[in-house]
């Protein structure tokens, strides 16, 4: 048996490190982001050691059995002569003990890894693939044509300093966020859309190209090192921040983060940056379809997490559950060994099982003395939800990617706007931030505009219908959109069964769904993570595997 371990790892992949294991047929055995294992958000500068160990355990193999380690970056270009040999590189980047049998190391260009992670996860046999992020080795946007059985073809490329990711990073940092919190910028931008704000366009769309308002620097000849790219990044982001400062007439918000919606300048900057992304990506999507000669379109790269933009693009459109840098672990591995069998869109449930091998519940040593346990009863779960309770679910194998897809989720009935307020309090989030809704396919067609693939992973904003606004106001944002998830068959058994139970009772089968984590923490991964988070947060119940947990009140009864 051949084994390929894909990684996003330092020194090149310095955030969102991850590991993914494929067998000789290109089938995914396991995939996890390091943050889920080590509990450090985004795993900055940390090697994917725990994620890689999880992958090996899932397959029942040792590090010495790995044949190829595929890295989603050309580390030799970015860090020339930093490592004496592949052994030194693997020790630094991955940290596994491979013994005397060193695996082959394959360095896959960053945008090619992004492109592969999207196309091979999609249901398409041929597609144009658009990759947009901060930067790869020598580029910030690329267009590819992928087809089963053929070598991928790069059609177009744009230089690093003409980066849409840099422009959005600058807006996010102007607002006081980290570049890793770009989702907050997107959420704030909706207030500009709702107010029909007239903003300055920062891109000139040309027939076959685009030109950003902040002129790109002259690219250095040949390949740039990581230090040179960092210097370029700081310069370009600085120029963009100066542009936003000029637009707003201020060098930052006048309100604290929790009250940014009270600051017109903050909304102006967020919406200006959002419109830049939407205008440019719409044009690039059209160029991608033209270059590939097909309508099927895949997106990847960090900018593909911009749900508001994704939702404006016509289909057929596919975005994978892990479009950001963690996804290049999968894309690098698939570049080495594309999947032999493709049966439709990728299942995202590839992470840690809440139970142990063979489905054995792992609760030994976990303190549940202050909790009341019972076997999970779906009718009881539905009753709790209808009673206005907010709870969490941790069941089966964890989903990969930044969106909780009902196996590590907080859920509630969204029949009032007040539930949005309560869940934001529970999660210690700003009150202006929105939540997503989840339902079954048939009912989703009545609640919001239809999306063929984006709603599988909650990666596209869709305008809510009158019915959606009426029955689920808790998941409709200020601009009238939601970021829907459609749950098929038994993908997430407890939540799916709860939706079906609500429908049987004549209640709209839709729930608020958000990630099960407190502020600043990764999404829960194990049973221990779930119990710890449940006890620390003001949640009413926890579905853990096939068990239901409630909290005791001061008299010893059930809350």
* Per-residue pLDDT tens digits for 497-552: 999 999 999 999 999 999 999 999 999 999 999 999 999 999 999 999 999 999 98
Same structural domain, 98 and 234 = no
Same domain membership, residue 366 and residue 291: no
* Same domain as 293, residue 236: yes
Q: State the CATH number of the domain containing residue 375.
A: 3.90.870.20
Residue 381 has pLDDT above 80, yes or no: yes
**Domain count along the chain:** 3
pLDDT of residue 215: 72
Please give the DSSP secondary-structure letter assigned to residue 217: P
Helix axes 182-194, 264-292, angle to 10 degrees: 100
Q: Do 504 and 386 share a structural domain? A: yes
Peptide bond just before 238 cis, omega within 30 deg? no
DSSP letter for 369, please.
T
Question: Cα(5)–Cα(81) distance, rounded to whole angstroms?
Answer: 23
Taking a C-beta distance cutoff of 8 angstroms, is the pair 125, 341 a contact?
no
Residues 304 and 394 in one domain: no
Residue 364: what pLDDT? Answer: 55
Q: How confident is the model at residue 1 (pLDDT cuts 50, 70, 90)?
A: confident
Res. 554: pLDDT tops 70: no
146 is a domain residue:
no
Q: Which domain holds residue 454?
A: 352-551
By C-alpha distance, which of 328, 283, 265 is closest to 134? Answer: 328
Residue 281 scores a pLDDT above 60: yes
Q: Which two tokens stand for residue 142?
A: 């690329």
Find where tokens 């060193």 sit: 102
Query: Where is the domain boundary, 297, 330, 346?
Result: 346
Q: Determine the pLDDT at residue 357.
A: 63
Chain mean pLDDT for the chain: 95
Does any domain span residue 129?
no
On whether residue 370 sits in a domain, the answer given is yes
Is residue 175 a part of any domain in this protein? yes
Name the band, by pLDDT with cuts 50, 70 and 90, for residue 54. Answer: very high
pLDDT of 87-97, one tens digit each? 999 999 999 99
Does 372 have pLDDT greater than 80?
yes
User: In this structure, is residue 28 part of a structural domain?
Assistant: yes
Task: Name the band, by pLDDT with cuts 50, 70 and 90, for residue 366.
Answer: confident
Q: What is the pLDDT, as a whole number, of residue 363?
A: 65
Confidence of residue 558 (pLDDT cuts 50, 70, 90): confident
Digit-coded pLDDT (tens) for 282-296: 999 999 999 999 999
Same domain, 287 and 401: no
pLDDT at 298 over 80: yes
Q: Note whether 188 and 262 are same-domain residues.
A: yes
| Prediction pTM value | 0.96
In a domain, 467, yes or no: yes
pLDDT over 60 (residue 219): no
Q: CATH number, domain at 62?
A: 3.30.420.40
Q: How far apart are CA 160 and CA 299, in angstroms?
A: 18
pLDDT for 114-160, tens place per residue? Answer: 999 999 999 999 999 999 999 999 999 999 999 999 999 999 999 99
For the residues 77-82, what does the mean pLDDT come to?
A: 94
Taking each helix axis from N to C end, the angle separating 164-174 and 182-194, rounded to the nearest 10 degrees, works out to 80
């Amino acid at each position: 048996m051949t084994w390929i371990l894909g990684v996003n790892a330092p020194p090149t992949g310095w955030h969102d490190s991850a590991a993914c294991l494929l067998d000789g047929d290109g089938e995914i055995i396991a995939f996890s982001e390091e943050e889920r294992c080590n509990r450090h958000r985004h795993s900055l500068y940390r090697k994917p050691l725990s994620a890689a160990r999880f992958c090996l355990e899932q397959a029942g193999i040792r590090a010495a059995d790995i044949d190829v380690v595929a890295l989603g970056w050309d580390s030799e270009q970015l860090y020339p002569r930093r490592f004496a040999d592949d052994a030194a590189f693997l020790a630094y980047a991955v940290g596994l003990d491979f013994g005397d049998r060193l695996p082959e190391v394959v360095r896959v260009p960053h945008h090619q890894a992004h492109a592969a992670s999207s196309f091979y996860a999609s249901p398409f046999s041929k597609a144009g693939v658009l990759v947009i992020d901060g930067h790869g080795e020598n580029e910030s946007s690329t267009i590819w044509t992928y087809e089963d059985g053929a070598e991928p073809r790069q059609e177009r490329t744009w230089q690093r300093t003409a980066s849409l990711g840099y422009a959005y990073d600058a807006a996010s940092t102007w607002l006081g966020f980290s570049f890793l919190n770009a989702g907050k910028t997107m959420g704030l931008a909706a207030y500009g859309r709702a107010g029909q704000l007239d903003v300055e366009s920062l891109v000139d769309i040309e027939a076959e190209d685009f030109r950003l308002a902040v002129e790109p620097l002259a690219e250095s000849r040949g390949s740039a090192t990581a230090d040179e790219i960092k210097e370029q990044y700081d310069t370009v982001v600085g120029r963009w921040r100066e542009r936003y400062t000029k637009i707003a007439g201020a060098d930052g918000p006048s309100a604290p983060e929790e009250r940014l919606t009270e600051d017109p300048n903050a909304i102006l900057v967020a919406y200006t940056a959002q419109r830049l992304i939407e205008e440019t990506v719409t044009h690039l999507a059209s160029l991608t379809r033209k270059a590939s000669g097909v309508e099927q379109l895949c997106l990847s790269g960090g900018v593909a997490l911009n749900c508001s933009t994704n939702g404006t693009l016509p289909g057929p459109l596919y975005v994978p559950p892990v479009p950001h840098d963690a996804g290049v672990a999968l894309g690098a591995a698939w570049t080495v060994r594309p999947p032999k069998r493709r049966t439709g869109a990728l299942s995202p449930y590839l992470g840690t099982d809440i139970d142990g091998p063979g489905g054995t519940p792992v609760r030994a040593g976990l303190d549940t003395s202050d909790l009341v346990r019972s076997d999970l009863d779906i009718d009881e779960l539905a009753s709790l939800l209808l009673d206005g309770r907010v709870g969490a679910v941790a069941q089966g194998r964890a989903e990969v990617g930044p969106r909780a897809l009902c196996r590590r989720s907080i859920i509630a009935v969204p029949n009032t706007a007040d539930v949005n307020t309560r869940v934001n309090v529970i999660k210690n989030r700003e009150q202006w931030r929105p939540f997503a809704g989840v339902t079954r396919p048939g009912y989703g067609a009545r609640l919001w505009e239809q999306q063929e693939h984006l709603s599988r992973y909650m990666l596209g904003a869709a305008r809510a219908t009158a019915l959606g606004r009426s029955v689920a106001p808790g998941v409709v944002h200020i601009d009238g959109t939601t970021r829907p998830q459609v749950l098929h068959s038994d993908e997430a058994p407890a939540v799916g069964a709860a939706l079906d139970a609500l429908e049987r009772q004549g209640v709209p089968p839709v729930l608020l769904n958000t990630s099960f984590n407190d502020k600043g923490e990764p999404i829960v991964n194990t049973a221990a993570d779930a119990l710890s988070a449940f006890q620390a947060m003001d949640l009413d119940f926890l579905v853990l595997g096939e068990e239901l947990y409630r909290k005791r009140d001061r008299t010893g009864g059930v809350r």
